[in-house]
A and B are shown apart, each in its own frame.
Chain A
Amino acid sequence: MLDSLVGVGELAVLMFIENPLNEYALAFPILECIHIIGFTLSVGTIAIIDFRLLGIGMKHQTPAELLSDTWLWTMVGIGVMIMSGLLLFSSDPDMYYLNLAFVFKMICLVLATVFNYTIHRKAASADSTPPNAKFVAYTSLILWGAVIFGGIFIAFINEGLSL
């Protein structure tokens, strides 16, 4: 019956549910460090392939060989990044939800992740370098770069969405 009267957020307040993350001052900065290490691992290993597709670095290996060397690290990095990111988000969901930079970041994150496991993977695992290799590499670098820019701007943007 209570559900029909109040929204989920208000229900949480009514029930005095406190996120334990907000009780320890060090929890947020430590999670941020884990988040940084996670995206360094994922974006860094994806970039090794992107640079290879662009003909920069690691030329003695094919993109497919590099993919087989990096994919596990990329996946672990993405896992760490998303898990720590969800926890960071949980510390103040309303603020993030209404923050334009955060919304931008989430859109780019979904695009970048889907792109990575579809078109990017296909281009990198091809037997010979596909004609769209450079386009794929630039798109990948720009998408992941946009995720990072969005993340930094969360803390600097003051205007939010008004809902």
Chain B
Amino acid sequence: MILAFAQWIQSTAFFTSLRQSWYIYPVIMSTHLLGIALFGGMVLFTNLRLLGVVMRDRPVSDVIGQLRVPKRIGLIVIVTCGILMLGSKAEEYYYNSFVWIKLSLLTLMFVHGWVFRGSVYYNTAEMDRAGKVPGRAKLAAWLSILLWAGIACAGRGIGYIDAPLDKIHAKLLHPASTAPYPQATSE
């Protein structure tokens, strides 16, 4: 069923046009990476503040509170680009194990947010009052750093798995062109 959905979504006019342009896909990928760079620094500073490594002379609530909105904007940009890339080659990515690893890690990240949101990231005023960051918050910070790094590495791994051309519907993938995709030259 997921496979049928993947085949359908990539065959829509919108995703077909994304796939058939040689430059749109790398532009989306570059924006994805730029988003990661901009957003990643903020995620890191949020977590390093919890760990007491950076901006120690500023209240935890001040650092985390100010980074909250820019982080959300960054996440929206990254996820949008991710969905565009995923949709444009959905069938190929269905067979890519790194896509599944990455989606699993993102699910864990969502669980992480659900578990630690109230008790850590929205509980920073309490930490400032108590004058110390509890172990639970430090655990959350470490897990966040490790999960995001894992997600970034899994994302890079996606590009290393070749499309199983014997399995995918060639006519859906490249109806007009002779070359399936702009081939990566550095890999």
A118 within 8 A of partner (CB): no
8 Å CB contact of B34 from A51, A60, A145: A145
Decide if B185 touches A60 in the complex (CB within 8 Å). no
Interface pair B45/A39, CB less than 8 Å apart:
no
Of the candidates B41, B183, B184, B187, which one forms a contact with A48 in the assembled complex, judged by CB atoms under 8 Å apart?
B41
Q: A29, A48, A99: which contacts B45 (Cβ < 8 A)? A: A48
Q: How far is the CA of A41 from the CA of B22 in the complex (A)?
A: 30
Query: In the complex, what distance in Å separates the CA atom of A154 from the CA atom of B44?
Result: 28
Interface flags, A90-130, vs B, CB<8A=1, else 0: 00100110010000000000000000000000000000000
- Contact residues on B (Cβ < 8 Å of other chain), bracket: 35 or more
Contact of A152 with B26 in the complex, beta carbons under 8 Å = yes
Residue of A nearest to B45 (CB): A48
Q: Give chain A interface residues in 51-75, CB to chain B under 8 Å.
A: 51, 56-61, 69-70, 73
What residue in chain A is nearest B23 (Cβ atoms)?
A156
Chain A proximity of B85: nearest CB distance (Å):
12
Residues of B within 8 A of A (CB): 22-23, 25-27, 29-30, 33-34, 36-42, 44-45, 54-55, 58, 62, 66-67, 69-70, 149, 152-153, 156-157, 159-160, 182-187
